[in-house]
Amino acid sequence: MLCGAEWLILYLYKSFDYMVDVHTSQQRSYNMSRIKSKNTRPELIIKDSLEKRGFLYQLDIYGKPDFINFNKKLVIFIDGCFWHKCPRCFKLPKTNRKFWKDKIKENARRDKEITLNYKNSGWKVLRFWEHEIKNQEIYKLKFA
Ligand SMILES: [Zn+2]
């Protein structure tokens, strides 16, 4: 079964002739047991796969996307679950609550603004949550 976010991603990919491999939970736990990626930044998990397909990694350009492909006019962001307020994982720290609340709110506002500005300039934008990459919910990006 695919969750809402996965359907959305699948839909987005289909609309640019991309496919996403979504593993069954059995395959997923098998993969997770094999990959000791505790300290691996999530974007590194898919870096090789994307670089082979013409994406450049973390260029210093507007919005600092994790991956960009100029030919396809496509940017990909891997959003950290804490810093970007993931609805599944985010928990407000117990101390300095006001500080964190304002900071995270501002990050989320900026994410929306960046997405909108790319879209308004004719770019396509994909955003993944850190947990979707780390949990191998999206294991591999397949390009049709
Ligand atoms: Zn998350």
Cα of 135 vs centre of ligand 1, distance in Å, is 10
Cα of 134 vs centre of ligand 1, distance in Å, is 9
- Mean pLDDT is lowest, of 14-18, 69-73, 101-105, 120-124, for 14-18
Put simply, whether the predicted model's pTM sits higher than 0.95 gets the answer: no
In the three-class reduction of DSSP (H, G, I as helix; E, B as strand; rest coil), residue 128 is classed as strand
Sequential DSSP letters for 16-51: TTEEEE---HHHHHHHHHH---TTS-HHHHHHHHHH
Spell out the domain ranges in the chain.
4-143
Cα of 110 vs centre of ligand 1, distance in Å, is 18
The fold of 4-143 is Endonuclease; Chain A (3.40.960)
Cα of 130 vs centre of ligand 1, distance in Å, is 6
In the three-class reduction of DSSP (H, G, I as helix; E, B as strand; rest coil), residue 33 is classed as helix
Q: How many residues does the chain have?
A: 144
pLDDT tens-digit map of 58-104: 999 999 999 999 998 999 999 999 999 999 999 999 999 999 999 99
Q: Are 79 and 111 in contact (CB under 8 A)?
A: yes
Element (H, E) at 69: strand 67-69
* Torsions phi, psi for 126 (to 5 deg): -120, 130
Task: Please identify every residue whose CB atom is under 5 Å from ligand 1, which is an ion.
Answer: 81, 86, 88-89, 129, 131
